[in-house]
Amino acid sequence: MDDTRKPQDSRLHDLPTPEPDSPSLLHPRRPYAFSTLCATVENPNSSHKDQHGSSSVPIYQTATFKGVGGEYDYSRSGNPTRTHLEHHIAKISSASHAFTVSSGMAALDVITRLLKPGCEVIAGDDLYGGTNRLLTYLRTHMGVTVHHVDTTDPTSVIPVLNPGKTAMVLLESPTNPLLKVCDIARISALVKEKCEEAVVVVDNTMMSPYLQRPLEHGADIVYDSATKYLSGHHDLMAGVITCNKDDLAKQMAFIINSIGNALTPFDSFLLLRGIKTLAIRMDRQQSTALLVAQMLSKLGFVTHYPGLPNHPGKEIHERIADGYGAVLSFETGDKELSERIVGATRLWGISVSFGCVNSLISMPCVMSHASIDPAVRAARGLPEDLIRLCVGIEDPGDLLDDLQHALLEAGAVTLAANDFVRIPNAVNKAVEKLALGEPMVRRGGEQQREWFVSAPGKVILFGEHAVVHGVTAIAASVDLRCYGLASPRNDGKISVHLCNIGDLYYEWDVNDLPWDAAVPILPGGTHPDNLDQRLLNAIGRRALPTPDRLPPKSHSAAVAFLYLYMTLTHGGLNKRPSFHLTIRSTLPVGAGLGSSAAFSSCIASAILLVNERINIPPLPKRSRAPSRAGDPGHVHLSHQGRRAIPPDVANEVNKWAFVAEKVLHGNPSGVDNAVVVFGGALAYTKPGYGRQSGMDQIQGFKSLKFLLVDSQVPRDTKQLVAGVAAKRAAEPEVVNDILQTIQSISDEARRALSDPELPRTHLLAALTALINENHAHLVTLGVSHESLEKIRKMTAANPYGLSTKLTGAGGGGCAVTLVPDDFDEAALRQLVSDLEGVNFRSYLTAVGGSGLGILSPYQAHRPRARSAAGRNELQVPMTPPETPGDEDEENIVFESLNSDFGSVDTSELSQWAEARGRWLYV
């Protein structure tokens, strides 16, 4: 394979060979070579013979066909031109079935429609950006769990194979754009051994059927973006799916016919024409690609191409493929240098695609893979300076000359002794300014600290709506949490990824923000009662698109983030922190469970920590006295209990979370953010109604088990509040009596919850009665909803007999069901199943737990990982601050949490977070 071509006999494939009309000769014909198969298009069956004997398949440019009971009736379902094409593709792909659709992503969409909510997908960690985007959508909106693993190690799939759950394994080989190679045959065998029903899917776009046929190596489904090599000219968009299993083919044929994304007759004609020259194009393209890769590697650039001797997957690739392909990538060590190189080329067109007869150049992190969160790109080892080259059929000498001159013009190489030599100061720079900073810290080096924070949601147990009119409300924290991970960037930018709010990712150059409109508040200062409207207007006009161009609710969330960042960041031009903040939540957004307050608390605490405006208590120096077994030198914080975050830190976070709530909601009461930050439960009475107002912590609150059920019905809080006000104006005596009764309920609940002498059984009985009574009054006020009443009826029915009420504004949203301590677990699981069977979402949780949480940044509080010297086996490393007295610290390498945080399944997020180390809570 020195010239990307195997000996002729190894390039013969046991594929159908068109038989001549004349009788067979004395000896059988040799099987046709692939290039012959590509160029030879025969009729699928006798009924497709053209009556005029055309040498090219005609374009049946028609939407419908006349007659009844014929093979074709409607081109969405079948068209003769497309039939010829699909027959031809199946022939060259070692496939029994082939389908052509409108694009490569349309092909993957058809394939992923085989998945069902609750199933699991295993995918590689180096994927085309569009594939990653679709998988993220499936995970976020369709209830599909996605595990990303390093597929260069076949055994990496074993820990995440889940019999009965794993439905699909999605592979690329070589991957785009790092050209990683996976052993398709080995992975397919491992998958089938443990999960027989799982479908192995391979994206074969980089290779095309000419160089690789994954169906021959155990794959179940293969798809290509036929826009690339199969077409070869970038004059059409198409996707191809092939398989050998009749059941899968039947399902996909049904999906294609149902959604109507089959390829049009004219595009089918163009694609069939392109395939005829596939072999000759690929031979030229990959032979030139090897020359380009050899030149770049010789100059000292890190070059990714399976045809190079030092490629780690070369042996595997040669076993499963017939050539090395025409795509390669290389690293310069400097993002700006890469941009200059790309801009200096002439023959290499700047484009996001590949596979064309014309050579193309791109920077994946800026173009094709820009939709992937920079934190995820960095965690997966995708360098921001990476340049991808897609070699065309131009003269090899011209392409090499053009690239050499671009390197020279950009300052990457120089001429010495009549040869190109790489400039020394461009060599061995750190893999520059990946979106996130280097994932390690050593003593004496620049500190790169991550901060991992969390905040709970909240429920109003008693007093909804009545609180607006001066009645006391009882609110408690709920053990569903919002998590925020702030990771340093070294490129002068800030960015935010709101995973649960439209999956919005946005980044800004720090110095391009509208600082002229900002009035930073110095440490110790207090925000005025009113928001800075000038800054809000500047952020809305100059830093973000209009709300209609962003996902719902994400605009106001991004404004809140920028408002806090610009208000809390003080100092000169060089003192504006550059970081990335990822926000994820196990709370349902918009269901009345305080998701906005949890979000506000997370962004407030993260920005305060990044700006060093709040601090975690320092660790005392480690004792040098001999320690007991299991005792790491008596290292401890002064606060070892639940309240390890000092009151001054909690108060500062609460103050700024309230500001963020104002940005989001205009005029919040402050209850939500107070419960979220301080945890437990509190009683709140609005001022101005003759009662003693304020917020009081309910001391001794006992944690209670609740089932939260999200009706998934949106509600209009303002309209509901206005409706109660209108009812009070129309029927003042009736409504005032209801409000007074709800006040009595809140008072009784407060006494019961704070009474340390009240037996648990009596407490639960009292709360059960109060829940039923409170909800009945809310129904009278007109704020319930048929979905909430259905939930109440289901939870109250035999054999459950549980008490349920709405929480929050009502009109949809969430219901809360009190679960006794001794309630049967099997019955509870059945209830959850019943509720989810009618499209309600259930969360079994507790109320009254911890408030704001910050993952301890100290090494002593982290599970150990491996040091650079091979000592101290670490499992969950994270960048810590300096730990006084740790003589081994300079040898420890710390990695970012981003590698998992963005991809861990929501159902596992809480357990994953708790396993990262010791959390400090309010």
Task: Please say if 32 is a catalytic residue.
Answer: no
Bridge-based pairing of strands 579-585 and 493-498 is: parallel
Residue 57's SS3 state is coil
CB-count exposure of residue 117 (10 Å: 0-12, 13-18, 19+): exposed
d(CA 636, CA 623): 11
d(CA 536, CA 560): 9
CB atoms within 10 A of CB 744: 13
CB atoms within 10 A of CB 354: 28
d(CA 439, CA 445): 12
Q: Find the catalytic residue in 5, 11, 76, 702.
A: 76
Q: Give me the residue label for tokens 């309630």.
A: 823
Residue 685's SS3 state is strand
What type of residue sits at position 809? A
User: From residue 197, how far is each of 107, 158, 191, 373 by CA, in Å?
Assistant: 21, 15, 9, 32
How many CA atoms are closer than 13 Å to the CA of 681, on its beta-carbon side? 27
For residue 236, give both structure tokens.
């059409």
Task: Please say if 858 is a catalytic residue.
Answer: no
Which alpha helices (DSSP H) does 569-697 contain, by range? 595-610, 647-665, 671-678
Task: Please say if 133 is a catalytic residue.
Answer: no
Check if the beta carbon of residue 621 is closer than 8 Å to that of residue 885: yes
Check if the beta carbon of residue 591 is closer than 8 Å to that of residue 814: yes
CB atoms within 10 A of CB 431: 18
The 3-state secondary structure of 101-157, one letter per residue? ECCHHHHHHHHHCCCCCCCEEEEECCCCHHHHHHHHHHHHHCCCEEEEECCCCHHHH
Check if the beta carbon of residue 465 is closer than 8 Å to that of residue 581: no
Residue 406: closest CA among 310, 512, 511, 295: 295
Write the CB contacts of 733 (distance below 8 Å, at least 6 apart in sequence).
none
Task: Please say if 575 is a catalytic residue.
Answer: no
CB-count exposure of residue 339 (10 Å: 0-12, 13-18, 19+): middle
Q: Find the catalytic residue in 60, 128, 229, 505.
A: 128
Q: What are phi and psi of 85, to 5 degrees?
A: -60, -50
How many CA atoms are closer than 13 Å to the CA of 678, on its beta-carbon side? 25
What length is written for the chain?
A: 922
d(CA 310, CA 538): 52
Q: Find the catalytic residue in 183, 203, 322, 503.
A: 203
Q: What are phi and psi of 117, to 5 degrees?
A: -55, 135
For residue 853, give both structure tokens.
């949480």
Contacts within 8 Å (CB) and 24+ apart, 189-197:
189/218, 190/154, 190/155, 190/157, 190/158, 190/161, 191/157, 191/161, 191/166, 192/218, 194/158, 194/161, 194/163, 195/161, 195/162, 195/163, 195/164, 195/166, 197/167
Ramachandran bin of 465, using left for φ above 0, alpha for ψ from -120 to 50, beta for the remaining angles: left
Enzyme catalytic residues: 76, 128, 203, 228
